[in-house]
């Protein structure tokens, strides 16, 4: 692979920005640096390798292998394997193989393709073999939106390859690919085997170039961290461009945005819902604009949430103000037979459930029977706010015990925005168990970071 001088210069700039700023990651255990992340990975690799080895030699069946990989990555979110291209892809190929009575074929194929290749040429052949199998699985899906995607293959296999040798095979992260594109260094062709081969060569080329210029001794993980930081910086810049300096009329469902400077729009978020984060924190300027238009900011927040759920693909029912003691809305997926009863809370400093659990029980009990009568099997209750404070776990457990609700989810507004961004970028993402519904499968706080990791934004 050859790069121009300009492309190499841009790669150096990406590295220099990272060298000056470093990276900090955030998970449920707290904040840690890139070096701490690397150390955690090194400690965990032998455990994951042992699981893989047991599957390869037949000590674990396919279901046990998948479950153990899922479990260890849930507890240790160090590689992003819980996302769409990792565990979700694994779930999909296993389920679809069962539908087509291809499970034994899948087992033998995985035992072959997950073993670390001896060369990048062999890696390409393994990717091509798995690609053909995945394409053939499509015939066993009544809805092709639920079929496993060949675009997930490079990440899926390279995760297992890197586990076996962290210094040989880079993982094909969506964030890294996006960073290469944003920096105009490289773009994939959508031929998955070729894309991984070029990505592999590019990683080694840039590591060598950076080492030579800056007198470093970098590894693949160092470049990964630098590109991840670049992708986060670019996402932040895109968010900053989505502003609302001159909203003239909030009666208009699609207010005109007048940019302060000329730029090429990059955000996928439509203006009508782009104001939700500011609404959620009771922004002073938005309070004034709402008052001038004869609207309560709480009602505007509820209305725009209703619009966002509709954009995601839900059938929506707006309740809220003027309807008595009711939640603010219900979002229904008839196709996947579930509903989200939600309540919107505007809070500058975050929301704490406090004594609201009694009201929540009332909302659930009043609406769950009606929903089940029309064929809704699964019901979630959600509070949507800017962020959440305190430990609400005991209250959530009590609500789940006293009602028939499946989960109680505290959703950050920016998490919903990330869902919409992912859905607009990739319309094949469904509302079902292999898509957005998986994000609803656990009670507690659903953060923007969790959604972005899952959706690989």
Tens-digit pLDDT profile for residues 390-441: 999 999 999 999 998 999 999 999 999 999 999 998 888 889 888 899 999 8
As beta bridge partners, residue 341 has 330, 381
Sequence-ordered alpha helix ranges (H) in 34-147:
34-56, 62-75, 89-99, 103-113, 120-137
Region 313-333: mean pLDDT is 81
Q: pLDDT over 70 for what percent of the chain?
A: 90
What integer pLDDT is reported at residue 243 of this predicted model? 46
Give the residue, 48 or 148, on which the prediction is more confident. 48
Comparing 267 with 281, which gets the higher pLDDT? 281
114 near 52, Cβ under 8 Å? yes
The pLDDT, as a whole number, for residue 434 is 83
Q: Residue 104 forms beta bridges with which residues?
A: none
Question: What is the model's pLDDT at position 154?
Answer: 97
Give the span between the Cα atoms of 382 and 279, in whole angstroms.
18
Strands 329-333 and 338-344: antiparallel
Confidence of residue 259 (pLDDT cuts 50, 70, 90): very low
Looking at residue 63, what is its pLDDT?
96
Residue 456: the pLDDT is 77
Q: What is the mean pLDDT of residues 24-45?
A: 80
> 432 CB contacts (<8 Å, ≥6 apart)?
146, 333, 335, 336
What are the extents of the domains in the chain?
Answer: 5-238, 271-455
Asked if residues 346 and 281 have their Cβ atoms less than 8 Å apart, the reply is yes
Out of 119-128, 138-147, 151-160, 268-277, least confident range: 138-147
The pTM assigned to this predicted structure is 0.79
How high is the pLDDT of residue 257?
38
Q: What is the CATH number of domain 271-455?
A: 3.40.91.30
Q: Could you tell me the pLDDT band of residue 26, with boundaries at 50, 70 and 90?
A: low
* Residue 207: DSSP 8-state: H
Whether residue 322 contacts residue 329, with contact meaning beta carbons closer than 8 Å, is answered with no
Write out the H or E segment, with its range, that includes residue 329: strand 329-333
Q: Residue 232 CB: number of other CB atoms within 10 A?
A: 15
When computed from its CA atoms, the radius of gyration of the chain, rounded to whole angstroms, is 24
> What does pLDDT average to over the chain?
88
Residue 323 has pLDDT above 70, yes or no: no
* Residues counted in the chain: 457
The span from the CA of 282 to the CA of 348, in Å, is: 6
């Amino acid at each position: 692979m050859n790069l121009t001088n300009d492309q190499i210069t841009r790669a150096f700039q990406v590295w220099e920005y990272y060298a000056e700023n470093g990276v900090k990651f955030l998970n449920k255990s707290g904040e840690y640096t890139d070096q701490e992340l690397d150390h955690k990975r090194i400690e965990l690799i032998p455990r994951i390798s042992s699981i893989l080895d047991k599957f390869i030699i037949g000590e674990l069946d396919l279901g046990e292998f998948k479950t153990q990989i899922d479990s260890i990555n849930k507890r240790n979110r160090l590689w992003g394997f819980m996302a769409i291209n990792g565990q979700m892809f694994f779930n999909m190929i296993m389920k679809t193989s069962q539908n087509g009575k291809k499970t034994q074929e899948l087992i033998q194929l995985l035992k072959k393709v997950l073993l670390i290749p001896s060369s990048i040429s062999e890696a390409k052949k393994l990717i091509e073999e798995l690609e053909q199998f995945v394409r053939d699985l499509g015939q066993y899906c009544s809805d092709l939106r639920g079929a496993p995607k060949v675009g997930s293959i490079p990440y899926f296999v390279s995760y297992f390859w890197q586990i076996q040798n962290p210094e040989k095979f880079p993982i094909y992260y969506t964030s890294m690919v996006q960073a290469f594109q944003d920096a105009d260094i490289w773009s994939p062709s959508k031929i998955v085997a070729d894309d991984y081969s070029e990505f592999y060569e590019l990683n080694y080329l840039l590591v060598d170039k950076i080492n030579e210029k800056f007198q470093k001794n970098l590894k693949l993980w160092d470049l990964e961290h630098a590109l991840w930081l670049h992708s986060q910086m670019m996402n932040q810049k895109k968010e900053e461009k989505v502003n609302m300096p001159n909203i003239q009329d909030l009666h208009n469902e699609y207010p005109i945005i007048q940019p302060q400077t000329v730029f090429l729009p990059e955000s996928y978020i439509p203006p009508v819902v782009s104001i939700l984060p500011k609404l959620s924190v009771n922004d002073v300027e938005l309070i004034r604009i709402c008052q001038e238009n004869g609207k309560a900011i709480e009602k505007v927040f509820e209305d725009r949430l209703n619009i966002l759920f509709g954009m995601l693909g839900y059938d929506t029912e707006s309740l809220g103000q003027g309807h008595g003691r009711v939640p603010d809305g219900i979002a229904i997926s008839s196709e996947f037979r579930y509903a989200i009863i939600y309540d919107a809370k505007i809070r500058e400093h975050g929301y704490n459930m406090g004594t609201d659990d009694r009201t929540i029980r009332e909302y659930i009990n009043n609406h769950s029977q009606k929903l089940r009568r029309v064929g809704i099997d699964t019901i979630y209750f959600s509070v949507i706010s800017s962020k959440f404070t305190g430990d609400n776990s005991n209250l959530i457990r009590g609500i789940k015990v006293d009602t028939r609700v499946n989960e109680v989810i505290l959703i950050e507004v920016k998490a919903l925005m990330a869902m919409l961004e992912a859905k607009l970028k990739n319309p094949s993402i469904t509302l079902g168990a292999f898509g957005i519904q998986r994000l609803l499968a656990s009670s507690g706080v659903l953060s923007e970071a969790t959604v972005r990791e899952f959706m690989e934004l």
